[in-house]
Amino acid sequence: MYLGFKTGHFVVFLVGCGFFVGSFPLFQKFKIWRYGAKGEERVAKCLKSLKGRYNVIHDVELGKRGDVDHVVVGPNGVFVIETKNNNGAISCNGDSWSQWKTGKKGGRYKGKLGSPSKQAKRNASLIGNLIRRRLHVHFYVNALVVFANKKATLDMQHPTVPVLKTDELCSFIQSFGSKMLSNKDQNRLAELITSYSRYN
């Protein structure tokens, strides 16, 4: 009996350890997702301060092809915003990006960043293709990258898309010089893109 009781506890212990080890990658993915979501929340809050006739659409899902953080449709164009909440020293040369972070003990290590500019351009292309396919018209879609983390330091060399901090975003969009869209075009575009938003 005693051995059986001890064995039972040991089995439960092993199962518990297995569950913890198995769920750790999922926990890490959740942390990364939550960290990115906080950056998107900051940008969404910032976009509320746009002055004038702007439609702001969040979390546009285009199936397996892409997930667009924010789309702004205004009188001066359509803007696709790729939001990043990374910190550390971030540098860019064209479409090549790198991120260096400082650990708790002061050591530097390389972070995982990918290419936000390529991602933004791909998402802008997806939105542009959606407009052509559904409305049978061509509108140029502007791609932007926004860093929401105040602790990020940016060193940009020849970026292929505008790269901004959160507090620069609204003024950039409002001062952007482009062909004026009619109210009718804005409504059509906003209605179409909103239909693909998770918050629709």
User: Tell me: the pLDDT tens digits for 125-164?
Assistant: 999 999 999 999 999 999 999 999 999 999 999 999 999 9
Query: Rounded to 5 degrees, what angle do the CA atoms 185, 147, 157 make?
Result: 95
**Residues belonging to the chain:** 200
Give 82's contacts (C-beta < 8 A, 6+ positions apart): 68, 69, 116, 119, 120, 123, 143, 144, 145, 146
Q: What does pTM read for this prediction?
A: 0.80
199 falls within a domain = no
Examine residue 159 and state whether it is found in any structural domain, yes or no.
yes
In a domain, 164, yes or no: yes
Quick one: which of 6, 98, 83 has its CA closest to 39? 83
Question: Is 200 within the bounds of a domain?
Answer: no
Quote the tokens at residue 106: 């002061």
**pLDDT band at residue 109 under the 50/70/90 scheme:** confident
What are the C-alpha distances in Å from 182 to residues 47, 74, 185, 196, 200? 21, 9, 5, 22, 23
Total domains in the chain come to: 1
Residue range(s) defining the domain that contains residue 135: 2-194
Place of tokens 């926990």: 27
What type of residue is 102?
T
Average pLDDT over residues 170-178: 93
How many helices and strands, by DSSP H and E, does the chain display? 4, 9
39-70: pLDDT as tens digits: 899 999 999 999 989 999 999 998 876 799 99
The arithmetic mean of pLDDT across residues 75-92, rounded, is 96
Please provide the average confidence, as pLDDT, over all residues in the chain.
Answer: 85
